[in-house]
Structure 1
């Protein structure tokens, strides 16, 4: 048994490792590992559970004559049989009311189910049992974060530090939260850096902070400073795919694809192939590496492998759609987007993409308009929806209306070749040949492929020869 809080497990973008702490004088140490990940756009962080337990003794003493056997409960939680664990814990609580450890494990089981409301109410019950127990505040922080209660979540980490000011772990834990919540708190990164400094001054294990330090440097756009920290982390934890996903692009930016490939292969060797979720993420990284290394023949294979392992892997699905779209393989993107909506019905990316793809296909404009209307409600700030609306107008022969609708997107024509192409088509149909040629040439200026490039080149050839 130790009095030192340990936050060394680092498995994600926002590794909220929640407290290895003495529960009672005699017998048990729990390590709760909370995993927070970037979804979709990598700008929204949501807390999701990854639970592992380290048990030094499978009993918690109530008194010299009565002990609660926790072995079966721990096994159920470790095996992710959360409902069974909940049932057993509720029985044990009837036998030993007021046992804070049983209360903690019950809250932990609800976290495993992602039943955040139940987890929250149970954690409050634990606080009523012992309001000075830092372990429960460490658990409640991620719970409140998952419920979107960021200010209240931060308070929980503050409580941990107030209760254990000389323990380094609480500062690293709060730093991880501040990094995760940086979009909502502009000063959060600076405060996270201060917490890491405090953690190190209190003799916290430096290696445990490397990954977070690297991520903070990346957030500050300090790539050179970030790279050594991320590299140290991945060498110590080759299966840390979240850190690897942040590190590899730094090598791609310097055209060091061979070095990136070596890191990727080393990581693959460390993975448990039976962990479908993690192996799906690995295949996703392989697909992105193949794109960076211009290994086009491998890209599709890796994307399909990632989705076969985990069909609801939304970032991989979106990246695959984007890549296929660039290859002008529109027919294949539509079913992928529809399948994505089955997993995430209100996802603005899938909704807006489906509206665009159906508009471009031109065979079901009514359905395209329906999806576009929904996309506008989900993401009214998305200026590119004006381009989709304009393209729908083009398909319906309303070229004046198309020119009106596309105005908010014109500013992006130089960066987005599809918009330049659409402007070229609109001006062509309005009889404005010179403007049409100007925009068509602009769309083809980039060497990147895009959906419509073939048609843009054909129309430009026609106009140039007439």
Structure 2
């Protein structure tokens, strides 16, 4: 794909596709640069802004990432992936929670069978300090995506917050067996040793 783009350096579409290839291989600097080249050549689609926003967020360029994700939603208000990505990101960091929940609700309305989107909706309710409302969404999300360690771990957190400690431990142990990410594994191992710390409980911020 790069060779094709190099042979046709004025083709914005090819640079967009090149960026997608890099992004799928977690080569986020290269994907960012390819997407920026596509933008510079005049391409201005919601999908391009969404993909550029994702690449920038992965690189820690958060302000620019938010700008492009918001532009993607402006171009296509029904872009469930952009709505969920930005809404989940904000919810996970405890920011803009009212906007985050509205975005995720819109994403779920477009793709109700997506376990990842349903997980996001449960997680934002948890972050808002309402684990009782979150639990149904998280249980549904684990049914839709039973092999995803992050979703399973989220349900463990919600169970712990509800005082359902044995169920929380079971979900954290299951998530640990599903995960191949060292950072996530370390977090789950700490959960299994000590549970949720008081400052990690919903509504503690």
Deviations 1:58-92 (A, max 9, x none): xxxxxxxxxxxxxxxxxxxxxxxxxxxxxxxxxxx
Deviation at 1:428, TM superposition (A): 1.5
The equivalent residue for 2:10 is 274
The equivalent residue for 1:18 is none
Query: Hey, which of these two has a bigger chunk of helix by percent?
Result: 2
In structure 2, relative to structure 1, the CA distance for the partners of 1:446 and 1:330 (3 Å cut) is farther
In structure 2, relative to structure 1, the CA distance for the partners of 1:369 and 1:445 (3 Å cut) is same
Structure 1 distance, partners of 2:193, 2:164, is 16
Deviation at 1:399, TM superposition (A): 2.0
In structure 2, relative to structure 1, the CA distance for the partners of 1:401 and 1:285 (3 Å cut) is closer
Indicate which of 27, 34, 57 corresponds to 1:306.
34
Deviation at 1:426, TM superposition (A): 0.9
The equivalent residue for 2:199 is none
TM-score where L is the length of structure 1: 0.35
Deviation at 1:278, TM superposition (A): 1.7
Indicate which of 372, 379, 399 corresponds to 2:111.
379
* 1:221-370 paired onto structure 2 within 5 Å: 265=3, 267=4, 271-289=7-25, 291=26, 299-311=27-39, 312=44, 314=47, 317-318=50-51, 321=54, 331=62, 334-370=66-102
The answer (yes or no) to whether the contact 1:341–1:351 under 8 Å persists in 2 is yes
The answer (yes or no) to whether the contact 1:421–1:456 under 8 Å persists in 2 is yes
The equivalent residue for 2:166 is 434
* 1:56-455 paired onto structure 2 within 5 Å: 265=3, 267=4, 271-289=7-25, 291=26, 299-311=27-39, 312=44, 314=47, 317-318=50-51, 321=54, 331=62, 334-449=66-181, 455=187
Deviation at 1:396, TM superposition (A): 2.5
Structure 1 distance, partners of 2:181, 2:76, is 28
Structure 2 distance, partners of 1:426, 1:367, is 22
Structure 2 distance, partners of 1:395, 1:428, is 14
Query: Hey, which of these two has a bigger chunk of strand by percent?
Result: 1
Q: How many residues align?
A: 190
From the CA coordinates, give the structure whose radius of gyration is larger: 1
Most deviating of 434-443 and 423-432: 434-443
TM-score where L is the length of structure 2: 0.71
Secondary structure (helix, strand or coil) at the match of 1:345 reads coil
Q: Which runs of 5+ in 1 are unaligned?
A: 1-240, 242-263, 292-298
Deviation at 1:268, TM superposition (A): 5.2
Deviation at 1:356, TM superposition (A): 1.9
Deviation at 1:433, TM superposition (A): 2.7
Most deviating of 361-370 and 440-449: 440-449
